[in-house]
Structure 1
Amino acid sequence: MWCTSCALAVEGSLKRSDGVHDVSVHYPSATLCISGTPAATQLSVLALKVKRLGYRLTELEPVGDAHARLEEESRYLTLRLMVGSLFGMWTMLASILIYASALPNEQVEQVVAWVSGAFSLPVVLFAGVPFYRAGWRTLLAKRPGMDVLVSLGVFGAVLVSIGLLWRGSSEVYFDTAVMLIVLLLVGRLVETLCRHRGLKALDALTLPNANISVYQHEHWVMVPADEVAAGMRVELAPGELVALDGTLEAPGWVNTASLTGESLPRHFHTGQKVYAGCRYLGATPLVMQVSAGVGKRRLDRLCDEMRRYQAKKGELQKLADRFAAWLSPLALVLALLTLPTALLFGTGWEEAFVRALSVLVVACPCAVGLAVPLASLAGSGQAMQQGIALRDPAALETLARIRSVALDKTGTLTTGNNSVLHWQAREGVDKHTVQRKLSAAVAGSEHPLAHALAHWSNDQREQNPEQNPDQNIEVNESPGEGRRVQLNSGEWLTLGSANWLTRQQIALPFQAEDPALAFASQVMLADEAGWLATFYLADQPVEDAAPSVKRLLASGYVVAMISGDRQGAVSWLGEQIGLAREACYAQRSPEAKARLLQALLAPTLYVGDGLNDTLSLAAADVGIAPLSASEAAREGASAQLMTPGVGGVVKLLSIAKYTRRIMVQNLFFSALYNTLALGLVAVMAIPPLVAVLAMAASSLSVTLNAARLAWAEPEENDQRAPE
């Protein structure tokens, strides 16, 4: 498809088919969503109807094919833009010389006018072809769009200019045709590049087709992942990214944060299912039996769901479609009525044609087209000054209307690393002794909590270095539960959960556990004398989490935290940052996150950093990725914070509301221009040159108004609550 008019043409044509209940054609993703009877929604039936309009309908294409298609479209547009710019430059130069009366006599002006027309031919006959083709297709579908208006404006300018040249006049309008084509080609090329960039979110969900170790014919061989079928046995190397869904044949540590959002890696037992996208953290190779190959993995289903979310039209898009559906026909009717009306009032054929051409040029929505993008560009610049990179400047319009803000927990509201929140020891034991023994007990452990405990104990040891520190010489470990180590002094230490220590026949006194800290991860240490100390660890909130949430709540937003982590950790963090318990949702899968997000007051904003957040980032009206976000989250989000914390979310919402005010003012100015200009054209003759200048004046007005936003100081941005 060439533009949104093409999408509306296909949509309108299919809506008239028997048995079709609802149709939505999403231009940016080139996707058709249709519901109806089985007979009416067969691909073969739909493809035939679409083919009659000049388009091609196929099954949902792979992401790689979509990239290739958009790359081809980009080259197609770039070639035409180069031709249009090269030849159009000389057409405009010749026209300027004539308009400025810079030529010595009328004979020279006549020659320059013919030269202007000659240079415009490659632009009109080659660069403008996509507009004519799209205009013809939309006419066939009985849904004429802006391409019809542009095509008529171009042909009208050329025909009137040829007629004037034939009569010996040098006041030609080839520059009008050239300007319309070149400016609109620039817009279409930028639009195509933005669509191409949007596919990168899907790329991030697509794992590379790397070679993996597969057991075949009693040997381990390297095979591409897409050639591995369900039932085969594959080997996972330490630190390797899991490429396929499967069940483990031995226990091991797996980091599932990318899919579940859990702050801690999990210890999987034999027979447990592991999904593609997770990472194996064990120290030795592990064997897994494949349950789902490429194309049928959970990650593939997430990718398909994300494409469906992207293809859905929001309210703003539907409103824009309805506006485009009547604007172009109305402008076309006005231009066609101008010709007979002028003739009825005794105007000559030449002047009547010029009036009709002026109406077409005046009706071209250049100012309307600039009104929102220029304000978005200025708003994007303001956001960048505040440390926020906008991947989609158009999202500013939606951000100004946000009513609900949903935040991920791990890595977004928290630092993503556990630290010791509190500790307590048996009476008579000092901190130095506890940290000395703890350092020896956790040495060599792969458990993430052990890393946090080692960091805490090493801080103390750096302050009090010892010549002969304790070292463990023997380790007996129960994965996921605890470990017993023997020091070089002969002493035995036991480290692990309370339940595991109890099973090791270690008595735990009443003071060993603090009920007020039940939300935290608990690790106990015991020596040969019994219980020694208890450590409580938690993922701490980022520095600006609490003030940012407070400002969002004070501004009237509905704020929620949606996490895949356990309930206790989520509830505790909610209390720390000022969220009510009922606004904190724990243990939610990626699919459940997206469903819950859609139940909030729309429009919605989601802030998330992991692979498990990509579905929610697509389901939300606007998605934001924090500084530490994964590649998948960055590519799926409309904006990325370039500074630590979530304070940028508050700043961006403020900038968006101020930007939207500028957008509304620009739209008002451009609408006022069109109303006055069309009214003026209806009562008096306006040369196309004057119409072009009027277009330039209207464009200048919205440009200067948008510049106010770029020049404004960041602290001047609106802080009022959403309406």
Structure 2
Amino acid sequence: MTDQTAPTGENDEALYTLHGMWCTSCALAVEGVVAHRPGVESISVHYPTATLWIKGGAQAIALDTLAPKIKRLGYRLTPLEPNSDAHARLEQESRYLSLRLLVGSVFGMWTMLASILIYAGALPSPTVEWVVAWVSGAFSIPVITFAGWPFYRAGLRTLRARRPGMDVLVTLGVWSAVVVSVGLLWRGSAQVYFDTAVMLIVLLLGGRLVETLCRHRGLKALDVLPQPKDEILAWQSKQWLITPLAEVAPGARVTLAPGELIALDGILESAAWVDTASLTGESVPRHFPRGEPVYAGCRLLGSEDIAITVTHALGQRRLDRLRNQMRHYQAQKGELQKLADRFAAWLSPVALLLGVAALPVGLLLGLDLEEAAVRALSVLVVACPCAVGLAVPLASLAGSGRMLNQGIALRDPAALETLARITSIALDKTGTLTRGEPSLVSWECREGMAESTLKNRLYQTATGSQHPLAQALKRWAGACDTSTPSTQVVQEVPGQGIQLELPGQGSFWLGSRRYLTSQGMVIPEMNAGMAHPGASEVLLADDQGWLGSFYLEDTPYADAASSIARLQTNYWVIMLSGDRVSAVDAMAEHLGMASEACFAERSPEAKARLLQGLPAPTLFVGDGVNDTLSLAAADVGVAPLNASDAAREGAAAHLLKPGLEGLVEGLATARVTRRVMLQNLTLSAVYNTLALGLVIVMAIPPLVAVLAMVASSLSVTLNAARLAWRE
């Protein structure tokens, strides 16, 4: 199977999964090494999702080229893992952390108890204190060796990459505490710091476990996308066999039963009605003629099995591409993340230099060896930039995951931060504010025809067609007769009309004016049609000729008026449309928008010019090919659920639910997420800067430094977790 995330052109992009990372320092180390390779234009490693995004020459960013280089650093690069594998990986990481945390907690508890007895002066003599100090060291051995091993391995890898980060500082802090403690015991002192090493490891492991749970929660947001079953009925060896999706290649023939989710993208071998709501957002079924492409995630309707010729295998489907677009967004970095990375990049080396220099400087200032060593240990511990590395990516992951649950998927890495600063919003009318579900606004019938009789005939005739307009008429007429009529379809022209035979009543025709005219019908001009020039006209006729005319108009989404009202409290909101003035004014009145905020009969170029005149940053929501220019002109372009492929490709975000409620909630989440990002970044930067300055000018016990450092990391993680668990 060909991986669609792999590079295919002269200058392309690729997404891979990077295994073996322990923290954000690992991500920065890989970035630093790969970024300087020939042919690599840009690279971004997203630690929370273990995703590596790279852009450059096809050969330079190929998996076969990168994997050996990254393997030498101690990491493993693979094709982008499926969502199910990512869940399994995070569950394995959680078990891995839980085991080490359990060992660290059990043995560390006794180390801490021994240290407390010594600190509290609760032991009868210095000799007993010295013995208990040795016991404290003995209990710390499993914690320092087994529980702390992941930190040492990650520190070694980042050193090998010449990008020393947090884990190098943690390793130096732990082993400095051990060396200082052993030295003090050798001199006969019981004032040891094994508890500092134990606390540093255990608390950081606890923070990592909380962080992993947050990452798991953020990844689960991708599960809201439709997921067809894992097996399908495929034609193999001259018979239909149940086959795993992964084994079905393009060109294969598969068959689907009515009501079943389409599992693979393909071409229909016969005409069919398809419910595309789960993927395209159209609220009524669509008729697909033979040879029309259909997509995985849509649902097959009708009463017969349908065969499909597969065009895209598992991993290449439109559904998979949507998931990959979300992963693509997560793997890249916005301005706040880049700022945090730059801060962490210089903070770690500076902290390392300060920690190493603290011992000789302390001795030069007249401190004794023990006090100078303890001061250097405190500098190493307090300088760990854990919080800086986690400040933005965890908040970004939690925020984007929550937005996906709310029904808005982001494609552009900068879209989340830009959405939080939006000032103006422009909305297309047709397909964005309206739902594509027509409703009857007016009708006329043959003179002398009773309404109940007309509804009865209409209901019986419309039952024979699955066209959206026919189904709307059937719903309108259904109150008259809810029985299932016996009909025989004589002729059907998809999208035009249908001829049926009703037993005992003769022939009936239902369809457009063009269809009935082609059948030899004479259709009079209707006053109702003139009153609703923008409505869709459906005509009904029998053997005697014209029977009735029905006029249907597209209706706005149920939440359109309330969503616009909510948006208008925070943003400039306008409507842009190429439709007639009368249609736009009627919609504006229905939605409660001022007429001066609605612009009709605008060409694509005019829409784009209007957008550029609005207060920036701007957001545009549009679904058609004619909206692609405006989607590009806006700071953030959003494609609604039923958008065309061209609009979806040009948009920075996709709505996954009908209506605008997802956009309203997504904008609110974007503002909260950016606020959390800034809070985290500010808190972590202030902590590391002040803590380093404070520990240099005054003595801080190493245990206090550990608690302060871990408290900073946990505060950042839990602050981001508010987004993931927020209801």
Same fold at TM > 0.5: yes
Distance between the aligned counterparts of 1:114 and 1:228, measured in 2?
Answer: 64
* Number of aligned residue pairs: 674
Decide whether the 8 Å contact of 2:428 with 2:622 is kept in 1.
no
Show the 5 A alignment for 1:6-405.
Answer: 6-36=26-56, 40-41=60-61, 43-61=63-81, 63=83, 65-103=85-123, 106-196=126-216, 204=225, 207-214=228-235, 216-217=237-238, 219-294=239-314, 297-299=317-319, 304-365=324-385, 400-402=420-422
CA deviation after TM superposition for structure 1 residue 338, in Å: 1.8
Higher alpha-carbon deviation: 49-58 or 188-197: 188-197
> Which runs of 5 or more residues in structure 2 are unaligned?
1-20, 601-606, 608-619
Decide whether the 8 Å contact of 1:523 with 1:534 is kept in 2.
yes
Q: Flag the 1:461–1:320 CA change in 2: closer, same or farther, 3 A.
A: same
Distance between the aligned counterparts of 1:63 and 1:397, measured in 2?
Answer: 25
Q: Flag the 1:94–1:251 CA change in 2: closer, same or farther, 3 A.
A: same
Decide whether the 8 Å contact of 2:622 with 2:643 is kept in 1.
no
Aligned to 1:639: none
Distance between the aligned counterparts of 2:542 and 2:201, measured in 1?
Answer: 82
Distance between the aligned counterparts of 2:107 and 2:318, measured in 1?
Answer: 53
Higher alpha-carbon deviation: 645-654 or 113-122: 645-654
Show the 5 A alignment for 1:477-516.
Answer: 477-478=491-492, 480=494, 481-487=496-502, 490=505, 492-511=507-526, 514=529
Match for 1:442 among 458, 462, 485? 462
Decide whether the 8 Å contact of 1:471 with 1:488 is kept in 2.
no
Summarize deviations over 1:676-717 as a string: whole Å, max 9, x none.
44333333323224435655887899999999999x9x9xxx
Q: Flag the 1:230–1:38 CA change in 2: closer, same or farther, 3 A.
A: closer
Distance between the aligned counterparts of 1:362 and 1:687, measured in 2?
Answer: 10
Show the 5 A alignment for 1:616-695.
Answer: 620=652, 626=657, 646-647=660-661, 649-650=663-664, 653-654=667-668, 657=671, 664=678, 668=682, 671-692=685-706
Q: Does 1:525 align with 2:540?
A: yes
CA deviation after TM superposition for structure 1 residue 349, in Å: 1.0
CA deviation after TM superposition for structure 1 residue 403, in Å: 5.6
Q: Flag the 1:268–1:84 CA change in 2: closer, same or farther, 3 A.
A: same
Decide whether the 8 Å contact of 1:248 with 1:269 is kept in 2.
yes
Distance between the aligned counterparts of 1:596 and 1:375, measured in 2?
Answer: 30
Higher alpha-carbon deviation: 283-292 or 493-502: 283-292
Aligned to 1:465: none
Distance between the aligned counterparts of 1:699 and 1:35, measured in 2?
Answer: 32
CA deviation after TM superposition for structure 1 residue 374, in Å: 11
Instruction: Quote the RMSD (CA, aligned, Å).
Output: 5.0
Decide whether the 8 Å contact of 1:240 with 1:280 is kept in 2.
yes
Aligned to 1:600: 634
CA deviation after TM superposition for structure 1 residue 209, in Å: 3.4
Amino acid at match of 2:696: A
Summarize deviations over 1:619-660 as a string: whole Å, max 9, x none.
747x7755x7xxxxxxxxxxxxxxxx7557546645764675
CA deviation after TM superposition for structure 1 residue 9, in Å: 0.9
CA deviation after TM superposition for structure 1 residue 350, in Å: 0.7
Decide whether the 8 Å contact of 1:215 with 1:234 is kept in 2.
no
CA deviation after TM superposition for structure 1 residue 341, in Å: 1.5
Summarize deviations over 1:35-92 as a string: whole Å, max 9, x none.
4556644544433322222222344455555455444333322222222233233333
CA deviation after TM superposition for structure 1 residue 504, in Å: 2.2
Aligned to 1:549: 564
Distance between the aligned counterparts of 1:333 and 1:33, measured in 2?
Answer: 32
CA deviation after TM superposition for structure 1 residue 134, in Å: 1.0
Distance between the aligned counterparts of 1:63 and 1:666, measured in 2?
Answer: 28
Summarize deviations over 1:114-157 as a string: whole Å, max 9, x none.
33333322221111111111111111211111111222222222
Amino acid at match of 1:340: P
Summarize deviations over 1:173-218 as a string: whole Å, max 9, x none.
333222222232233334444445555566647643313142753x
Amino acid at match of 2:97: L
Distance between the aligned counterparts of 1:618 and 1:99, measured in 2?
Answer: 65
SS of residue in 2 equivalent to 1:459: coil
Amino acid at match of 2:168: V
Distance between the aligned counterparts of 1:598 and 1:117, measured in 2?
Answer: 63
Decide whether the 8 Å contact of 1:164 with 1:170 is kept in 2.
yes
Q: Flag the 1:445–1:85 CA change in 2: closer, same or farther, 3 A.
A: farther
Q: Flag the 1:676–1:266 CA change in 2: closer, same or farther, 3 A.
A: closer
Summarize deviations over 1:266-312 as a string: whole Å, max 9, x none.
32333334444443323223344444544555555555555444433
Distance between the aligned counterparts of 1:303 and 1:707, measured in 2?
Answer: 22
> Which runs of 5 or more residues in structure 1 are unaligned?
463-468, 629-644, 715-723
CA deviation after TM superposition for structure 1 residue 478, in Å: 0.8
Q: Flag the 1:459–1:105 CA change in 2: closer, same or farther, 3 A.
A: farther
Summarize deviations over 1:542-591 as a string: whole Å, max 9, x none.
444224224435533678899xx9xx9999878854565545633359xx
Aligned to 2:550: 535
Distance between the aligned counterparts of 2:583 and 2:235, measured in 1?
Answer: 39
Match for 1:476 among 490, 493, 512? 490
Decide whether the 8 Å contact of 1:512 with 1:533 is kept in 2.
no
Q: Flag the 1:661–1:302 CA change in 2: closer, same or farther, 3 A.
A: closer
Distance between the aligned counterparts of 1:16 and 1:707, measured in 2?
Answer: 35
SS of residue in 2 equivalent to 1:6: helix
Decide whether the 8 Å contact of 2:624 with 2:643 is kept in 1.
no
**TM-score normalised by length of structure 2:** 0.76
Show the 5 A alignment for 1:687-706.
Answer: 687-692=701-706
Aligned to 2:624: 587
Decide whether the 8 Å contact of 2:165 with 2:348 is kept in 1.
yes
CA deviation after TM superposition for structure 1 residue 509, in Å: 1.6
**TM-score normalised by length of structure 1:** 0.76
Distance between the aligned counterparts of 1:399 and 1:597, measured in 2?
Answer: 14
Amino acid at match of 1:455: R
SS of residue in 2 equivalent to 1:510: coil
Distance between the aligned counterparts of 1:247 and 1:495, measured in 2?
Answer: 29
Q: Flag the 1:691–1:184 CA change in 2: closer, same or farther, 3 A.
A: closer
